[in-house]
Amino acid sequence: MPTTLNPYLGFRDNAREAMTFYQSVFGGDLALSTFGEFQASEDPAEADKIMHGMLTTNNGLVLMGADTPNGMDLAAGSSISVSISGDDEDELRGYWDKLAGDGGTVTVPLEPAPWGDIFGMCTDRFGTAWLVNVNNPMAAPAS
């Protein structure tokens, strides 16, 4: 198995909702495990919270997430974004429409960029920042 790098998102009490939303965006199989299943918290209020969630899509995308336990701090992150890119414009626009819609906020519209690709930035309704880039094989490489 090759080494992989996967985004892992932290939530406060809404990981199940968020990961289910991402499954509706990207498709694939979603596995969710709760703190209660693994006796991973002594706080009964955390029993049904998500200890680990993993979304694996048919085309190899992996997104992970979990609820942050009550005893741990969770600061809204402005220094991390999730980037998704590829050649299939219809597929990427479909993801964009779902991420930016239904409570999301567009920060940079998905449109032709100076480097020749189609690019946009949005923040979904859960506060996760996304960068979407449709590769243009005819664009000149950056120098």
CATH assignment of the domain containing 63? 3.10.180.10
pLDDT score recorded for residue 11? 93
pTM score of the predicted model: 0.81
Which sign, positive or negative, has the C-alpha torsion 35, 103, 28, 87? Answer: negative
Length, in residues, of the chain: 143
Q: Is the residue at 26 inside a domain?
A: yes
pLDDT score recorded for residue 48? 95
SS3 99: helix
pLDDT score recorded for residue 143? 44
Domain count, the chain: 2
Q: Does one domain contain both 13 and 38?
A: yes
Q: Is the residue at 141 inside a domain?
A: no
Is residue 82 over pLDDT 50?
A: yes
Q: Does one domain contain both 57 and 104?
A: no
Average pLDDT of the chain, as a whole number: 89
Domain that holds residue 28: 8-67
Which pLDDT tens digit goes with each residue over 16-59? 999 999 999 999 999 999 999 988 888 899 999 999 999 999 99
